[in-house]
């Protein structure tokens, strides 16, 4: 049977592909597009949900780094993403309740923007559309993986639609609750923060002026990310689980008043809140990134606290690195699904993901704890960063994706 071919048996459809990507979130689709553009491999993306329809707007946005922008630019989709609602931010202001503060400006880093706020759905939509141009790649919507069987030279996958897929490599891009990771018996290290993030779109009386703002309260950080309308921002408010439930139940006016208390001194009054959703927060790390014929990426591999806006960016770098490893393996006539090849991807991403997720967790602990010693460390740390711009700029450049060892697509 030819690669990518389909055979109908009495009860199910059997399909053979080179690569099956389980999960059509942004990192999974990015990998599919890179493979479709630069290889002749047949690629299937299995996505449990229906395709994205932009008339059903979702409040979830992501802060995209310069490195992620370069990936989208090289794949030729940045202008289409830009045509959707996008807002650059040129400054980040952070402060805590005691009045300690730190800020970052794009001019001091010699950049036009520190990053971009993009609706997750808008990126997914553009990637789904772009993939339609390639006959070697196909997205199977409303198709949920329900069984996985590992063989020596391939993986068999069954879906709730009665299809059976046969792949030389399976990519787990199926998010934090990854079915592939669980069925492949990959152990997960998990730390529950016992917190939830309330996400919503808010309207303020003052213009956001392209500034991303973050206030570190004792209960957790509250972030405001500027949207394309100058008076609208995206809210990510982290709270202990019980308090988050109370705030979710507040009437819109009372919710706005509570937010105004946080931001009025530094920014503005909050007058409208729309599309409140809450997300349970935890730090997760899979103990193995790869197994023979299986590779994990994105939230299936790691989840981090959203305070630094890095989860999606880390997933995009995973996708770009895995693409490069597969591409190189093909050029050298090597089996791209073999453990030896995939281990290179694992080592590469561990070296980049590990310091990032540990660093985010440290920041989280540093601002959460209120013991005198940790408060002193926090204040001294901020003072050092403010007094030594070289150190501050080094960390800022690192966070926005200006660092060594990135995959070619992100350079």
Ligand X SMILES: Cc1cc2nc3c(=O)[nH]c(=O)nc-3n(C[C@H](O)[C@H](O)[C@H](O)COP(=O)(O)OP(=O)(O)OC[C@H]3O[C@@H](n4cnc5c(N)ncnc54)[C@H](O)[C@@H]3O)c2cc1C
Residues that bind ligand X (CB under 6 A): 22-28, 46-49, 62-63, 144-145, 173-175, 179, 197, 199, 236, 279, 298-300, 306, 309-313, 315
Nearer to ligand X, 139 or 341 (CB): 139
* Angstrom distance (rounded) from CA 240 to CA 255: 16
* Angstrom distance (rounded) from CA 5 to CA 144: 20
For 335-374, letters b (16+ CB in 10 Å) and e give: bbbeeebbebbbebbeebbeebbebbbebbeebbeeeeee
For 78-102, letters b (16+ CB in 10 Å) and e give: bebbbeebbbbbbbbbbbbeeebeb
Nearer to ligand X, 311 or 337 (CB): 311
Find out whether 402 and 317 touch, Cβ atoms under 8 Å. Answer: no
Nearer to ligand X, 245 or 265 (CB): 245
Continuous segment of H or E residues that includes residue 90: none
CA 332 to chain CA centroid, Å, is 31
For 12-37, letters b (16+ CB in 10 Å) and e give: eeebbbbbbbbbbbbbbbbbbbbbbb
Nearer to ligand X, 25 or 220 (CB): 25
Nearer to ligand X, 92 or 236 (CB): 236
Nearer to ligand X, 175 or 407 (CB): 175
Find out whether 247 and 255 touch, Cβ atoms under 8 Å. Answer: yes
Least separation in angstroms between CB 260 and ligand X: 21
> How crowded is residue 136: how many other Cβ atoms within 10 Å of its Cβ?
19
Nearer to ligand X, 297 or 330 (CB): 297
Residue 66 has phi, psi (to 5 degrees) of -60, -35
Nearer to ligand X, 197 or 330 (CB): 197
Chain residue at closest Cβ approach to ligand X: 25
Least separation in angstroms between CB 307 and ligand X: 9
* Angstrom distance (rounded) from CA 39 to CA 9: 30
Q: Which residues pair with 188 in a beta bridge?
A: 286
Find out whether 91 and 103 touch, Cβ atoms under 8 Å. Answer: yes
């Amino acid at each position: 049977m030819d690669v990518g071919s389909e055979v109908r048996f009495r009860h199910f459809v059997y399909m053979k592909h080179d690569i099956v990507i389980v999960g059509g979130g942004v990192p999974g689709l990015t990998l599919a597009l890179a493979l479709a553009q630069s290889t002749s491999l047949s690629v299937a993306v299995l996505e449990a949900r229906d395709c994205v329809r932009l008339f059903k707007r979702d409040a979830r946005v992501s802060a995209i780094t310069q490195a992620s922008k370069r990936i989208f630019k090289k794949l030729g989709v940045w202008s289409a993403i830009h045509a959707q609602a996008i807002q650059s931010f040129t400054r980040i202001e952070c402060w805590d309740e005691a009045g300690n503060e730190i800020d970052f400006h794009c001019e001091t880093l010699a950049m036009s923007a520190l990053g971009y706020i993009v609706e997750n759905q808008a990126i997914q939509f553009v990637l789904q559309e772009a993939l339609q141009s390639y006959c070697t790649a196909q997205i199977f919507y409303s198709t949920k993986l329900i069984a996985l069987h590992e063989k020596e030279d391939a993986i068999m996958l069954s879906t709730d639609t009665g299809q059976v897929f046969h792949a030389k490599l399976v990519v787990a891009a199926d998010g934090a609750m990854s079915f592939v990771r669980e069925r492949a018996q990959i152990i997960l290290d998990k730390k529950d923060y016992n917190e939830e993030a309330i996400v919503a779109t808010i309207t303020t009386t003052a213009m956001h002026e392209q500034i991303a703002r973050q206030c570190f309260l004792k209960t957790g950080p509250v972030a405001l990310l500027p949207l394309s309308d100058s008076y609208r921002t995206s809210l990510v408010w982290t709270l202990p689980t019980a308090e988050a439930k109370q705030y979710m139940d507040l009437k819109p006016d009372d919710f706005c008043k509570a937010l105004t208390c946080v931001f009025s001194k530094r920014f503005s009054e909050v007058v409208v809140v729309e599309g409140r959703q809450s997300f349970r927060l935890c730090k997760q790390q899979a103990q193995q990134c790869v197994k023979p014929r299986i590779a994990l990426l994105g939230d299936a591999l790691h989840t981090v606290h959203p305070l630094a806006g890095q989860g999606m960016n880390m997933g995009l770098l995973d996708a770009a690195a895995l693409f490069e490893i597969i591409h190189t393996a093909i050029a050298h006539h090597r089996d791209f699904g073999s453990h030896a090849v995939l281990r290179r991807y694992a080592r590469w991403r561990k070296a980049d993901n590990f310091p990032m997720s540990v660093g985010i967790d440290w920041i989280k602990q540093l601002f959460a704890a209120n013991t005198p010693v940790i408060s002193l460390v926090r204040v001294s740390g901020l003072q050092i960063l403010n007094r030594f711009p070289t150190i501050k700029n080094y960390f800022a450049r690192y966070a926005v994706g200006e660092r060594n060892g990135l995959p070619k697509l992100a350079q």
